[in-house]
Amino acid sequence: MELKTLLFTLASTVPLIKGETVLGVYIFSRHGDRTPKALAPANLTSLGADEVFDSGSYYRNRYIASDSSSPIFRLSRDIAVASQMTVTSPVDTVLQNSAQAFMQGLYPPVGTLSTQELANDTSVEAPLDGYQYIPINAVSTASSNTNSEDNEWLQGGSGCGNAMVSSNNYFISSEYLATYDETTSFYSDLLPVINSTFDADEANFKNAYTIFDYINVATIHNQTIPSSDLLTNETLLQLKVLANIHEWNLAYNASDKIRAVAGSTLAAQVVQQLNSTLTGKSKQPLGIQFGAYASFMSFFGLAQLPAVSADFTGVVDYASTMAFELVTNATNVSTSNYPSTSDISVRFLFANGTAAENEPQAYPLFGRSDTLTPWTTFAEEMAKISIGDTAAWCTACGNSTGVCASSTTGSDSSSSDANAASTSENGISLPVAGVIGALVTLVVVLGVETLVYFLAGLKLVKKATLAHAAASSGATGGAAGVKA
């Protein structure tokens, strides 16, 4: 009912660029509204599911529906074809559920289109009005298939040594210590609001994000908040600003690029997927990944987006998406007349919050002035900020043991060494997702949130054990603890 109206409105607001063909797209999305991290485990809320579903519906109207404004070349309109897309998410219920809701918006139930005739003339419609089952590749389950290079990334993702050191350095930086000192009374004055969850010695800038998050969730969901008179608009804004400073500095430092390893692995994955779209003449034109706001921030920093607007140093809203469109003005595009790379550009779009309510806007990357980047330039610029395979990851992270022992010596002929080689040749999408998930773990678990995890009774020991178990058995768990 309401949905129909919404879809209609959306369709009419999508800008149309005449003559352009979209050859493929990569979308990276944050999860929708959820319960606070401080009260783990966090869950996607109904509101959150609506946000990502509506975002998926927006992209359906932009790229997929039969009357879409920018239909993607060779992408199936109504019936989702698994081989045409890769959808990934770390193993995390909020992110996995968000990915599912998004895909439902993108490829809604097909009703009678799912009807099939049996030998005895009976027709059968699929359950739930022809609901479509779209696989969401979970990083940790990838290790259970035969493609064992995924294991390496999964393990590698369990800790990038230099990035951990870098992020932890923020907590001893003069910037951090100054902000901490300046805000002691600001946070302690808020204790009446947060004291059911935070102790007095936790009410400080070290927990800037979790305190902001806890109060932000309450302002959305709780009809009554203790001492809510303390939460003036000015205070709420200050909470957000401080949380943004805190998270930005954990995710990116211009003079210490390894801190942004999440953005580097994402950059590699985007190029790898878009490149395979092009080499396959759009046989697989759609890549979608769900991940954390920290990955957005790390990528924004590396792609020089803060030069476009300081807003890019803020935590993105729930259900935010960035999209990388492969576009061409070449005419008469077909598989036998596929445009050459010199005729193809990348358009970067960002929607702050659900795309249904926040029309994605195009922004220039890498300090350029044009919002379109020629494909070859895009690939070159992304290569400068990318970490794209196990060996590069080990070198950048300064790790030389465990999974990195074989990839750095290069001399032994063990199976894992062979796997490392095939990783860089054959593609890295799932493993890279693992590293992204792991960076989130790194930033979130090893950084600020240690305290919160203890509060929630979720000991870090458990996380370490899981990671260790993954490392030794190749079982699931490397991405455990990912919270976004």
Ligand X SMILES: *[C@@H]1O[C@H](CO)[C@@H](O)[C@H](O)[C@H]1NC(C)=O
Binding site for ligand X (CB under 6 A): 17, 19-20, 35, 39, 41, 43, 118, 120, 122, 155-156, 158-159, 161, 169-170, 173, 175, 192-193, 195-197, 214-215, 218, 222, 225-226, 233, 244, 249, 253, 255-256, 271, 275, 279, 311-312, 314, 316-317, 327-329, 332, 334, 336-337, 345, 352, 372, 379, 397, 399, 401-404
To ligand X, the closest distance from the beta carbon of 90 in angstroms equals: 16
| Omega before residue 41 within 30° of 0, cis | yes
Would you state the structure tokens that stand for residue 302, as one six-digit string? Answer: 């590396």
Quick one: tokens of 25? Answer: 């797209």
Residue with the two structure tokens 């997702």: 433
Helix count and strand count (H, E) for the chain: 20, 10
Residue 61 DSSP class: I
Residue from 360, 359, 330 nearest 345 by CA: 330
CA gap 463, 481 in Å, rounded: 7
Please give the Cα distance from 150 to 430 (Å, whole number).
Answer: 7
Please choose, from the candidates 116, 213, 208, 180, the residue with its C-alpha nearest in 3D space to the C-alpha of residue 484.
Answer: 213
Find the DSSP H helices in 258-331.
Answer: 261-279, 293-302
Whole-angstrom CA distances from 63 to 25, 36, 287 are 9, 33, 13
Residue 155 vs 295, nearer CB to ligand X: 155
E strands within 291-343?
Answer: 321-328
User: Taking CA 244 as the corner, what is the angle to CA 46 and CA 347, rounded to the nearest 5 degrees?
Assistant: 75
Closest CA to 86 of 289, 387, 373: 289
- Point out which residues pair with 372 in neighbouring strands: 347
Token pair of 480 as six digits: 């455990």
Residue with smaller CB distance to ligand X, 4 or 18? 18
Shortest Å, Cβ 1 to ligand X: 28
Closer residue to ligand X in complex, CB, 317/359: 317
- Contact criterion met (CB below 8 Å) for 13 and 27: no
Nearer to ligand X, 105 or 159 (CB): 159
Minimal distance, residue 412 CB to ligand X, in Å: 17
Residue closer to ligand X, measured from CB, 317 or 357: 317
Dist CA 277 CA 75 (whole Å): 11
CA–CA separation, 263 and 322 (whole Å): 13
C-alpha gyration radius of the chain: 23
Measured from the CB atom, is 147 or 179 closer to ligand X? 179
- Nearer to ligand X by Cβ, of 41 and 135: the residue is 41
Residue 187 — left, alpha, or beta (φ > 0 → left; ψ -120 to 50 → alpha)?
A: alpha
**CB 31 to ligand X: min, Å:** 14
Produce one character per residue of 457-469: b if its CB has 16 or more CB atoms within 10 Å, e if not: ebeeeebeebbee
Provide the minimum distance between the beta carbon of 437 and ligand X in the complex, in angstroms, as a whole number.
13
Q: How far is the CB of 434 from ligand X (least distance, A)?
A: 11
Greatest alpha-carbon pair distance for the chain in Å reads 77
In the structure encoding, which two tokens stand for residue 295, read together?
Answer: 């990955």
